[in-house]
Amino acid sequence: MTDRLTMQDPRDQYPRPPFPKQPQPAPGLAAEMDPKPDHGEESYRGSGKLTGRKALITGADSGIGRAAAIAFAREGADVAIVYLPAEERDAKDVVALIEADGRKAVALPGDVTDEGFCRSLVADAVAHLGGLDILVINAGHQQTREDISQVSSADFDVTMKTNLYALHWITQEAVPHLKPGASIIMTASVQAYDPSASLLDYATTKAGIVAYSKALAKQMIEKGIRVNAVAPGPFWTALQPSGGQTQEKLTKFGEASAFGRPGQPVEIAPVYVLLASQEGSYITGEVYGVTGGAGIA
């Protein structure tokens, strides 16, 4: 692979569809994807932007959370990662990557739909890291359903609890530990602005994340804490083959973007670094779209 920082045509920088069908049970594993996502394992280079910071990232075993964890470690942060026990295989790789950069890694397996786990994970992260400076709420649940009649109460419940309730529980628990200069980053989605018909419950939660982030930013700036959200478009993550898309749509995933391909997780990681670092000192209450040209409105 060409060095990703070498000037080149971004349309051809990473794999383009068609992709093979590759069904996985939820929550999915990056290790089983074809082609393998680039989370920055070899391609992200840091420059000390987060030296000495302590970060907690949910959904950090794969996808965007994994890319943020790798980038934060390369920038000098110690990182606690939250993931489902079923994702242990991917999580072990992330822990090894963080430690290879000489940073402390804390593994926190569990289910964020459980309020008790959400509240205890913050205390565990603070205890193991020795504090908390950066909170990234990224864990998400997405299952495609072609018609409203197919979205059961159980479906709706797990999407709401994973994407919204957990966000509230973890943030509420973390705020007392955050000092002036700290940063909270939420992962929203282009779905908040241009929802797909088949992602009814998922899109609803992502719109909620945008509103929550903006409201929370108004509270937190009184404490010197910044709050922002990132709204990704189509990114090549384990969320997609494990039910986030139909297998037919997966073969063409990202084709409709201006680039003709999906984004790779490493391509969005620098936005999380900016929002977490002091270089983003005048940024709060914002939503950063990284949508492959679709924009957000």
**pLDDT, tens digit, 9 for 90 and up, residues 250-275:** 999 999 999 999 999 999 999 999 99
pLDDT bin (cut points 50, 70, 90) of residue 3 is confident
The single-letter code of the amino acid at 149 is S
Q: What sign does the dihedral 245-249-251-257 (CA atoms) show?
A: negative
Q: pLDDT band at 5, cuts 50/70/90?
A: confident
Which sequence positions are flagged as catalytic? 202
Band the pLDDT of 2: cuts 50, 70, 90.
low
DSSP 291: S
Nearest to 278 by CA among 166, 138, 181: 181
H or E segment and range at residue 99: helix 88-100
Give just the sign of the alpha carbon dihedral 202, 35, 276, 80: positive
User: Of 223, 213, 229, 225, which Cα lies nearest the Cα of 181?
Assistant: 225
Q: Which CATH architecture has domain 51-280?
A: 3-Layer(aba) Sandwich (3.40)
Backbone angles phi, psi at 192, to 5 degrees: -65, -25
d(CA 7, CA 14): 13
How large is the average pLDDT for residues 166-187? 98
With beta carbons less than 8 A apart as the criterion, state whether 160 and 205 touch: yes
C-beta atoms surrounding 203 within 10 Å = 21
Q: What is the mean pLDDT of the chain?
A: 97
Pairing mode of beta strands 134-137, 54-58? parallel
Tell me how far apart the terminal alpha carbons of the chain are, to the nearest angstrom.
34
CA distance 225 to 183: 6
Looking at residue 81, its pLDDT comes to 98
> Percentage of the chain surpassing pLDDT 70?
99
The order of strands in the sheet holding 183-187 is: 105-109, 78-83, 54-58, 134-137, 183-187, 226-232, 287-290
The mean pLDDT value for 225-245 works out to: 97
Q: How confident is the model at residue 126 (pLDDT cuts 50, 70, 90)?
A: very high
What average pLDDT score do residues 213-235 get?
Answer: 98
d(CA 249, CA 18): 10
Q: Is the pLDDT of residue 190 over 90?
A: yes
Q: What is the value of pTM for the model shown? A: 0.97
Q: Could you tell me which of 95, 32, 12 has the C-alpha nearest to residue 240? A: 32
Per-residue pLDDT averaged across 14-31, rounded?
A: 96
Distance CA 277, CA 50 (A): 6
Average pLDDT over residues 184-188: 98
pLDDT in tens, 131-143: 999 999 999 999 9
pLDDT score, position 280: 98
Residue 61: pLDDT above 70? yes
For the residues 41-56, what does the mean pLDDT come to? 97
Q: What is the pLDDT of residue 125?
A: 98
Answer yes or no: are the C-beta atoms of 123 and 130 closer than 8 Å. no
Phi-psi region at 243: left, alpha or beta (left = phi > 0; alpha = psi -120 to 50)? left
